[in-house]
Structure 1
Amino acid sequence: MRKASFADMNCSVAQSLEIIGEWWTLLILRDCFLGFRRFDDFVERLGISRNILTNRLDTLVGGGLLERRPYDEARNRYDYVLTDKGRALWPVLTALRQWGDEWILGAGNEPILLEHRDHGHTTTAHMACDVCGEALDARSVRAVPGPGATP
Structure 2
Amino acid sequence: MGLFLNAAFDGTSWTESDEVQEPSSLGNGLTVSVHDSDIVWVSYAPSGPGEGVAWLHLTARACFGDDSIPPTDPDREAAGLTEWLASNWDPAGEVDDLPEVVRGFVVGDDDRPEEGASPFAEETLVSFLRAVRLPVPPTLA
- TM bracket (short chain): under 0.3
Q: Which has the higher helix share?
A: 1
TM-score (norm 2): 0.25
TM-score (norm 1): 0.24
Q: Which has the higher strand share?
A: 2
For the pair shown, which has the larger CA radius of gyration, 1 or 2?
Answer: 1
